[in-house]
Structure 1
Amino acid sequence: MGTRLPPLEALRYFECAARHLNFTAAAKELCVSQSAVSQKIILLEAHLQYKVFDRKPRQLHLTENGEELFKSMHQALNQIRDTVNHIESHKQVRQLEVYSMPAFASRWLMPCIHEFYDAHPNIDLNLAANFAEPIYRNEEVDIGICHGKCDQTDMQQELLFRDYIYPVASPELLKKITLNTPEDLNKTTLLHDSLPNAKFGTSWSRWLSELNIEGVSCNSGYSFNQVDLIVQAALNGQGVALGRHALVAKEIENGRLVPLFGHSVEDGGIYVMYLKKLADRPQVSDFISWIKGQSVTFEQQFNVNKLLYRSR
Structure 2
Amino acid sequence: MASSLLHQHLHELSVFDAAARAGSFSAAGRELGMTQSAVSHHVATLEAVLGFRLFARVWRGVALTDSGAVLFDGMKNGLAAIGAGIEGARAAARQRQFTVVTDFAFASFWLVSRLAELRRISGGSDASIVTSQASAAVDLSIGDVAVTFGVQAPKGWEITRLVDEEVVPVVSPQLAARQGLFAADGAARVPLLHLDTPGRDRWLSWPDYFSLAGLAPAPAGADLSFNNYPLLIQAAIAGQGVALGWRPLVDDLIDRGLLVPTLGTVRNRSRGYDLLVPPRGGANPVIRDFKRWLQAEFGQLAPLETMVIIG
Instruction: Tell whether the structures are fold-level matches, with TM greater than 0.5.
Output: yes
CA distance in 2, matches of 1:112, 1:290: 12
TM-score in terms of structure 1 length: 0.63
Aligned residue among 130, 133, 138 for 2:137: 133
Any idea what the Cα deviations from partners look like across 1:99-127, whole Å, max 9, x if unmatched?
A: 11100110011110221213434212221
1:227 aligns with 2:229: yes
CA distance in 2, matches of 1:182, 1:202: 23
- 3-state SS of paired residue (2:101): strand
Which residue of structure 2 lines up, in the alignment, with residue 240 of structure 1?
242
8 A Cα contact 2:237 2:259, kept in partner: yes
Partner amino acid, structure 1, of 2:216: E
Superposition deviation, residue 212 in structure 1 = 2.3
Which residue of structure 2 lines up, in the alignment, with residue 251 of structure 1?
253
CA distance in 1, matches of 2:165, 2:259: 17
8 A Cα contact 1:181 1:261, kept in partner: no
Give unpaired runs (5+ residues) of structure 2.
Answer: 5-63, 72-83
Distance 1:273 1:241, change over 3 A: same
Partner amino acid, structure 2, of 1:276: P
Distance 1:146 1:213, change over 3 A: same
Question: What is the count of residue pairs matched by the alignment?
Answer: 237
CA distance in 2, matches of 1:120, 1:175: 44
CA distance in 1, matches of 2:280, 2:67: 38
8 A Cα contact 1:179 1:260, kept in partner: no
8 A Cα contact 1:168 1:243, kept in partner: yes
Distance 1:177 1:295, change over 3 A: farther
Which residue of structure 2 lines up, in the alignment, with residue 293 of structure 1?
293
Aligned residue among 86, 102, 105 for 1:103: 105
Distance 1:221 1:90, change over 3 A: same
1:303 aligns with 2:302: yes
CA distance in 2, matches of 1:275, 1:167: 35
CA distance in 2, matches of 1:159, 1:128: 20
Q: Which entry has the higher C-alpha Rg, 1 or 2?
A: 1
Distance 1:236 1:86, change over 3 A: same
CA distance in 2, matches of 1:228, 1:148: 18
CA distance in 2, matches of 1:212, 1:307: 13
Partner amino acid, structure 2, of 1:273: L
Partner amino acid, structure 2, of 1:270: Y
Which residue of structure 1 lines up, in the alignment, with residue 272 of structure 2?
269
Superposition deviation, residue 178 in structure 1 = 3.2
Partner amino acid, structure 2, of 1:294: L
Any idea what the Cα deviations from partners look like across 1:15-39, whole Å, max 9, x if unmatched?
A: xxxxxxxxxxxxxxxxxx9x77997
Distance 1:36 1:122, change over 3 A: farther
CA distance in 2, matches of 1:214, 1:116: 43
Distance 1:246 1:93, change over 3 A: same
Any idea what the Cα deviations from partners look like across 1:27-68, whole Å, max 9, x if unmatched?
A: xxxxxx9x779978xxxxxxxxxxxxxxxxxxxxxxxxxxxx
8 A Cα contact 1:193 1:201, kept in partner: no
TM-score in terms of structure 2 length: 0.63
Further displaced range: 258-267 or 162-171: 258-267
- 3-state SS of paired residue (2:167): strand
Distance 1:182 1:189, change over 3 A: farther
Which residue of structure 2 lines up, in the alignment, with residue 204 of structure 1?
206
Partner amino acid, structure 1, of 2:290: W
Which residue of structure 1 lines up, in the alignment, with residue 24 of structure 2?
none
Superposition deviation, residue 219 in structure 1 = 5.6
Which residue of structure 2 lines up, in the alignment, with residue 191 of structure 1?
193
Superposition deviation, residue 135 in structure 1 = 4.5
CA distance in 1, matches of 2:210, 2:262: 13
Distance 1:95 1:170, change over 3 A: same
Aligned-residue CA RMSD (Å): 3.6
Partner amino acid, structure 1, of 2:261: P
- 3-state SS of paired residue (1:144): strand
Distance 1:291 1:179, change over 3 A: farther
Distance 1:38 1:221, change over 3 A: closer
Which residue of structure 2 lines up, in the alignment, with residue 55 of structure 1?
none
8 A Cα contact 1:204 1:218, kept in partner: no
Partner amino acid, structure 1, of 2:268: E
Any idea what the Cα deviations from partners look like across 1:73-101, whole Å, max 9, x if unmatched?
A: xxxxxxxxx99998665432102332111
Any idea what the Cα deviations from partners look like across 1:113-164, whole Å, max 9, x if unmatched?
A: 221213434212221111353454xx33222110124152122211122230
What percentage of aligned pairs have identical amino acids?
Answer: 23
Further displaced range: 243-252 or 187-196: 187-196
Superposition deviation, residue 260 in structure 1 = 0.9
Superposition deviation, residue 185 in structure 1 = 3.6
